[in-house]
Amino acid sequence: MNGILPLWKEKGMTSHDAVYKLRKILGTKKVGHTGTLDPSVEGVLPMCIGQATRVAEYITDAGKEYIAVISIGTATETEDADGAAVVSDNSFKKFSRSELEEVLAQLTGEIVQVPPMFSAVKVEGRRLYEYARKGIEVERPSRTVTIDKLEILDDAEYFEGSEVTFRLRIICGKGTYIRTLAVQIGELLGYPAHMASLIRTASGNYRKEDCRTLAEIAELKEQGKLADFIQPLEAALEDFRFFEIEEDMHFDIINGQVLPKHPLFEEDETPIVFTQNSKALAVYQIHPRKPLLMKPEKMFPENS
């Protein structure tokens, strides 16, 4: 069993829980997820099965889309609704849609974020949440992330009250902390803030409508229809160029030989997926030290 299974992760379970339960349903240990979702977050979590675990990083690195509810007025220790309040501002607040759009414009494009203390980022070999649980504050490395689009989903022209909430559609690159983005929005508005709720509606090319819950997947398996739902691993490679090889290249490709640079690389340096009978055999990239050669980045021997 090889391929991509688009899962709709429900609230209340970790991404690891989802992997564990899917392994039991499928009867295989070779299952991996493509980007952690917190237990309180539901949404698209493509699962890689069998050989497709080798392409998990491509889906993980792809863009994401979220629907978030941002709450202005209270900051929490975890930057989301699960944490205890650390700062509250109960004053009456009022800002216009245009003021909010100006703030969102400042946070669109490349921005710098500092990961929250309650996160899985490692510092000196330990995850930040391990320090946080012991009350230890450590210096956190900043990171540059890309926000492609921030869209207000509420129709209101003015947002007002002691606690103001609004919904945002967020399209962003890998590594973005939506919790931290909520805090940054609040800072630019001049108030404490946190992320009240979050749904991931897309991960790479996989969207909500492509997904099934664990219960639905178990039912499909029982009905013998699961194979029709699992997408081929080639689907995770859609952003690369595909080249169907002749028989004389087969031995070299399946054995991962370093080869002369393919003419396709003259157009650009996007990796090439070499296929036979439309099945991916390997992903090749330009050799990092020998620009006239190419080398394999991923191999799929069982597809040959």
**Known catalytic residues?**
38
Q: How many CB atoms lie within 10 A of CB 240?
A: 18
Give the C-alpha distances (Å, rounded to integers) separating 136 from 38, 123, 133, 140: 22, 12, 8, 12
Strands, DSSP E only, in the chain? 3-9, 31-33, 42-49, 64-72, 74-76, 85-88, 93-96, 109-113, 122-123, 126-127, 143-152, 158-161, 164-172, 193-203, 206-207, 241-244, 259-260, 272-276, 279-286, 293-299
> Reduced to 3 states, what is the DSSP secondary structure of residue 255?
coil
Q: How far is CA 189 from the centre of its chain?
A: 27
Length of the chain: 304
C-alpha span between 168 and 110 (Å, rounded): 18
**Enclosing H/E stretch for 133:** helix 128-133
Residue 11 to residue 199: CA distance in whole angstroms: 10
Tokens 């639905």 belong to 216
Cβ atoms of 157 and 144 closer than 8 Å = no
3-state secondary structure of 99: helix
Whether the CB-CB separation of 272 and 303 falls below 8 Å is answered with no
